[in-house]
Amino acid sequence: MVLPTQVNEIAALVGLTDKEMAYVLGLTPRNLHRLLSEQNLNIEASERLLLLTNVLVHALDTFEGRTATILSWLKTPIRELNDQTPLQLMDRISGFTLVNDVLGRLDYGLPA
């Protein structure tokens, strides 16, 4: 299980709101707050948090630690993602892989 402090640390890493974190974790904002007050997330939300952490670590490397740029990128529609934002795709597990693939393309200077 994941500790509440980890959820807050990951959100603060690039400035994601509670609503955005709840969306990515597959929860409502109310359920997120309830689970955090109970000191743990369910297994699915914990898995999603780990996937989000991997994406954000990759993004920090790709964008050289510029958190404002990462936050903007997460909220900008990308042609390669069918004009969806990376954040929108992270509502399902396969979306994390697609977002990481786009970051990989950016790492190698390929159009994304």
**Alpha carbon distance 105, 112 (integer Å):** 6
Query: Under 8 Å CB-to-CB from 41, ≥6 apart: which residues?
Result: 1, 2, 7, 25, 35, 49
Torsion angle of C-alpha atoms 80, 56, 100, 46, degrees rounded to 10: -120
Interval 20-67: pLDDT, tens: 999 999 999 999 888 888 777 888 889 999 999 999 999 999 999 999
**pLDDT given at position 24:** 96
Residue 102 near residue 81, CB atoms below 8 Å: yes
Residue 66 near residue 21, CB atoms below 8 Å: no
